[in-house]
Amino acid sequence: MKCKKEKVMKHIIFLLKDVERPGVVFNLSGTLLFVNNTFKKKFGVQEETSIEQFIDEQSIKQWDEVLGCLHECEQKIIDVEIRTVSGSIHATKVHLMYIDDVHQIVAFFDIQNYDDNLAGRAYVHAFHNSDSFMVVVDQQGIILDVNDMHTAFLNMPKDYFVGNDASVLATLLQGDPELFLKYKRDVHIYGYAEETKRYERTVDDIRYYHISTFFDSKTKMYLIRMNDRTEKILLEERLAHSGSLSTVGELAASIAHEIRNPMTTLKGFVQLLKLSANGDAIKYLAVIEGEVTRMESILSEMLILSKPGLNKKTLLSLEVLVADMVRVMQPKAILEGISIEQKETGMQNTLMNADADKMKQVLLNLFKNAFEAMSPGGILTTSIESDNSQQLILSISDTGKGMNNNQINQVFMPFFTSKPEGTGLGLPFVLKVVEEHGGTISVESEIDQGTTFIITFPLVISHMKSPVQEDKKLLSS
């Protein structure tokens, strides 16, 4: 008996290998015992798996009913919906034959060459080679496939997605686990759904992803497409900030012209009164003159923001420039009991194209802010590094009172200040000058721990024979 069953199976397998149609042998419980090469290519399914893996859920009930009576009619042709290896669903006819000697079923599938045509190949190629992260989800919310951008976008392996519920996407993006259900509702109402999410890929890498979801009525699949909009959003934020600085500049220019004339008159009369004043009047007039001078200083700071940057850049050494400003600030530091530490760079070249006067004003503003944030015993530290030989990184750190998150987010906004007599224009000026020099500036701070300003500038590659010596000789003014 056993020998007879083996012969029957050999004949069945031989016939299956020679046909172009996908063919399979399975037992009455639906476990696949043998699949031919055509079947493997179409469905991506191997032996010892269930027939339910590639038959649509709606066809399972009909499939079970046919199997229940197949041993009586021996052959049957039924219509079912099957899922191909690309994830698409197609209606097809299945020829079933019951082999009584081995109590097993042979099935042949009449599938058109959906995946072999040009459009199908183009679709698969576009899916896997897109620079967007793409996800295919079935109607039950199960992820069927993702393209190769899963690591670049979400830093997770493919196995994390395929076969799992689509809610894993929402969990990664710190959203509502029911997000996919809401997407389904919006897709059926509006035809699509979209949202922009913030994603912390790593501690130092914050990304912004635009997520679009569509439903394909033909394949009954959801397609989720994720595009990286980080650069665009950051550019929009910078443009908005630049716009605010431009508005401040226009406002400053108009205010300055309106105020300076009466101030000049006021200052002239104060000087005339001083010639004939005596006693307390002299002291009062001195106070008035001092306040007028202070008002002029504030107007000068506002006018700096309104003026376009003049191209007075020369080749200079950032290290020498910082050292010069440290020497200028040293007497004030000693007077206030503050130490200044300038770390050795260890670099042969710290050359940059810059306006020396403006750069000095940048350093002066940052040093003054650091001094005002510290009490006696505080330490101001400067250091210069290069991350990839193309950028200079200047760090200015203090051990002062620090800032909270709200202050950090607004520190470069015009007129924002935490000092009673501050104008809130010093750091906007710093930002403006740094950006004029093709650089960037960021701030890190902790309450009661201190603050660090990190500034980057393009490095000028030196072709001198003795970079260290030449670098030190460059004038910073």
Q: Which of 62-76, 120-134, 241-255, 329-343 has the highest mean pLDDT?
A: 329-343
Strand spans (E) along 343-439: 351-354, 379-386, 391-398
The three-class DSSP label of residue 397 is: strand
φ, ψ of residue 228 to 5 degrees: the values are: -85, 115
Mean pLDDT of the 28-55 span: 75
Homologous superfamily (CATH) of 2-113 is PAS domain (3.30.450.20)
Residue 453 banded pLDDT, cuts 50, 70, 90: very high
User: Does residue 394 have a pLDDT over 80?
Assistant: yes
CATH class, domain 239-306, is mainly alpha
Residue limits of CATH 1.10.287 in the chain:
239-306
- Most confident residue range from 51-60, 69-78, 395-404: 395-404
Instruction: Kindly report the number of other CB atoms within 10 A of residue 459's CB atom.
Output: 21
Residue 421's pLDDT band, with cuts at 50, 70 and 90, is low
- The CATH architecture one would assign to domain 314-473 is 2-Layer Sandwich (3.30)
- pLDDT-based confidence at residue 464 (cuts at 50, 70, 90): very low
What pLDDT was estimated at residue 378? Answer: 93
Q: Residues spanned by CATH 3.30.565.10 within the chain?
A: 314-473
For residue 160, give Cα distances in angstroms to 46, 133, 136, 184, 443.
Answer: 22, 14, 14, 22, 36
With a cut of 80, say whether residue 142 has pLDDT above it. Answer: yes
* Strands, sheet with 192-202, edge to edge from the N-terminal-most edge strand: 143-146, 133-137, 221-228, 205-216, 192-202
- Give the integer Cα–Cα distance in Å for 190 and 170: 21
| 199-218 burial code (b ≥16 CB/10 A, e <16) | beeeeeeebbbbbebebeee
**Per-residue pLDDT tens for 14-32?**
656 656 778 888 887 778 8
DSSP-derived letter for residue 416 is -
Neighbours of 68 (CB within 10 A): 10
Beta-ladder partners of 214: 192, 223
Strand 339-342, strand 379-386: pairing: parallel
- Judged by phi (left if over 0) then psi (alpha if -120 to 50, else beta), residue 202 lies in beta
Mean pLDDT of the chain: 77
Lowest mean pLDDT among 1-15, 33-47, 303-317, 342-356: 1-15
Name the CATH code of domain 118-228 (choices 3.40.50.12780, 3.30.450.20, 3.40.50.920, 3.40.190.10): 3.30.450.20
Q: Boundaries of CATH 3.30.450.20 in the chain?
A: 2-113, 118-228
Q: Of 255-269, 346-360, 379-393, where does mean pLDDT reach its minimum?
A: 255-269
- As beta bridge partners, residue 316 has 352
